[in-house]
Structure 1
Amino acid sequence: MDVYFYHLENHTLERVLPSLIEKTLARGWRAVVQVGSEERLEALDLALWTYADDSFLPHGSAKAGFAADQPVFLTVGSETPNGAGVRFLVDGAEAEEFSGAERFVYVFDGHDDAALQTARSQWKAAKAAGCSVTYWQQSESGRWEQKA
């Protein structure tokens, strides 16, 4: 099991998450995006439809229905109704256990102390569970640099 940590420094989640999801879909994988609250789920839902003038990411949530058919499923829970191989955890969402996906991806705001603490505790939990963990930090230019 691979667990990746993406430490946001210079861009918002709404700017970064679409590109990470695009890379996931380009590999032929499905994704689940687990969000910390219903309010943030609604905001990300809108952001994924409108993040670019010439593109959108096909996605849905339980509210939209057809969960099994969604290439990207948004949730505040731990379900994976679309058979996703990648689980993104954002805005304080935490994995209860590291199973049910091939890859877990934490994306967290480096300017938010609570997000940093959550990421640190999840790093320790992933290592204790025997997962392979990788840490990426955003540079000033917005590029990802592997730090651990």
Structure 2
Amino acid sequence: MPALFYHLTRSTLEQTAETILQRALKQGWRVTLRGSDAGVLGRLDAALWAGDEAGFLPHGLAGGPHDADQPVLLTTGPGLPNDPQALMAIGGAPVQPGEVAALSRVWILFDGGDPAALAAARSQWRELTGAGAAAQYWSEEGGGWQKKAER
């Protein structure tokens, strides 16, 4: 499967991550959500707990005794500590070409209003595709997600 780059221009990180994570859990997948900023992961953690009971999304922040058991593990560290089928990277967190090849799905979410995030996503695209990983670029320009590029 290719790495799926999601260019956020209308939806928030919290909205997009929650939607994707709910779908992943329905597939029976475990997910490692890798970020580069503990503060952002803390806000995402709070947002995921704030949903109503129907939208409850089981997850945990890395660093506890049950990291390996979490269906969704939010971490700033390397590796895949909860043995996931999928990886979501936010905030420019690194993704290795081997992870793209080994996992059922890899999502890379980036803020379209942040020039540094755009530059980091472009760099990740070049690095991953240059190493032979497949990638798709998705944008929500027209109100819905549209695939704009594939390599």
CA contact (8 A) 1:14 1:51 kept: no
In structure 2, relative to structure 1, the CA distance for the partners of 1:6 and 1:52 (3 Å cut) is: farther
2:88 is matched with 88
1:147 is matched with 148
Q: Equivalent residue of 1:36, what SS? A: coil
- Fraction of identical pairs, as percent: 39
Q: Equivalent residue of 2:16, what SS? A: helix
CA contact (8 A) 1:15 1:51 kept: no
CA contact (8 A) 1:45 1:60 kept: yes
Query: Which whole-Å CA distance do the structure 2 matches of 1:10 and 1:51 have between them?
Result: 20
CA contact (8 A) 1:31 1:72 kept: yes
Structure 1 runs, 4 residues or longer, greater than 4 Å off: none
- 2:128 pairs with one of 123, 126, 134: 126
Q: Equivalent residue of 2:3, what SS? A: strand
Q: CA deviation at 1:24?
A: 1.1
Q: CA deviation at 1:53?
A: 5.9
Q: What TM-score results when the alignment is normalised by the length of structure 1? A: 0.91
Query: Which whole-Å CA distance do the structure 2 matches of 1:111 and 1:52 have between them?
Result: 29
Over the residues paired in the alignment, what is the CA RMSD in angstroms?
1.5
CA contact (8 A) 1:109 1:115 kept: yes
Q: Deviations over 1:43-102 (max 9, x none)?
A: 11111111446322100122343011100000001121111111111022122x222441
1:36 is matched with 36
Q: What TM-score results when the alignment is normalised by the length of structure 2? A: 0.89
Q: From the two aligned structures, give the one with the greater helix fraction.
A: 2
Q: CA deviation at 1:4?
A: 0.7
Query: Which whole-Å CA distance do the structure 2 matches of 1:29 and 1:98 have between them?
Result: 20
